[in-house]
Amino acid sequence: MNDLADSARRRHEQDTRSPQELVKAYLCDPDSHEAWYAVATLHFRGGQTEFDLAAELTQGPHAERRALGAHILGQLGVTEPTFVDESVDILLGLLDDESDDVVYATCVALGFRNEPRSIQPLLGLIHHANALVRWGVVSGLSGYEDENAIDGLIRLSGDENASVRDWATFGLGSQTCWDTPQLREALVSRIDDEDEMVRGEALVGLAARRDPRTVGFLQRELAGNVITGIALEAAASLADPALYPLLQELEEADNDSPIRNELRNALVACRPLDID
């Protein structure tokens, strides 16, 4: 366990509230930091009591409580997952819930559980009418080295919703080692996306795969009106000296840019060897 996770576990272990009190804290203000702190405490405890409580919540008449149950089941045990099979069994049954909020929470929870048998059921929701659910599907399918999951992300990378496209492109570009012509072409298809973050994620993915087209794509992106940190991250990853002149121009144009650190990293990475 890393130091950050160990510190978080100790902090949550000091919380003496009962599971029922933690649920109440969440329901009082679901969007607050305190609410998610309470859920995280249940995750870190991750025992039979927490599992039973979450399972009970998923079977209740109130959508908000069912969604909470799904959120709890998704990360019981955190770094040392508990009740994985039992949780996935329940979560799969929630994918056809009448509430989109519950379905969304379930998709995200399945993503945390990273259980391959959830891939096919998640694929059935790719064309769901609610963009939030489709975003949840992206979360559920990300992180797999599986052809079907990758195909699902490829399709979602062309979604009408920019946030869905963004996260699907991130999933393809940065959350898998998968490298096929189909995946690369999906990333290339996002190079002209109207959303700069989607374009940036595509560039990062292509740079990581050393695709020879990436230099030209980055030259065009870096010559544009809006330069993002993620595009500079892609430039640093590619580390191609052909990008150095453009990066120099950017540095000379604005030394106070909020992305100056990313720019400096890219300059260092792309600096030609024959420059002192």
- Helix (H) or strand (E) holding 2, with range, is none
| C-alpha closest to that of 19 among 47, 42, 1, 3 | 42
How do the domains of the chain map onto residue ranges?
1-123
How far apart, in whole angstroms, are the C-alpha atoms of residue 262 and residue 255? 12
Mean pLDDT, rounded, for 152-177:
98
Evaluate whether 239 touches 209 at the Cβ level (below 8 Å).
Answer: no
Residue type, 81: P
Using alpha carbons, list the distances in angstroms from residue 65 to 50, 61, 106, 272: 14, 8, 12, 58
pLDDT tens-digit readout, 112-159: 999 999 999 999 999 999 999 999 999 999 999 999 999 999 999 999
For the record, the structure tokens of 223 come out as 């010559």
pLDDT tens-digit readout, 15-74: 889 999 999 999 999 999 999 999 999 999 999 999 999 999 999 999 999 999 999 999
Residue 256 banded pLDDT, cuts 50, 70, 90: low
Percent above pLDDT 70 for the chain:
95
Tell me, what's the pLDDT at 12? 76
Domain 1-123 homologous superfamily, CATH: Leucine-rich Repeat Variant (1.25.10.10)
Instruction: Count CB-CB contacts under 10 A for residue 101.
Output: 17
Tell me, what's the pLDDT at 4? 46
Length of the chain counted residue by residue: 276
CB-side neighbour CA atoms (13 Å) of 83: 26
Residue 1 banded pLDDT, cuts 50, 70, 90: very low
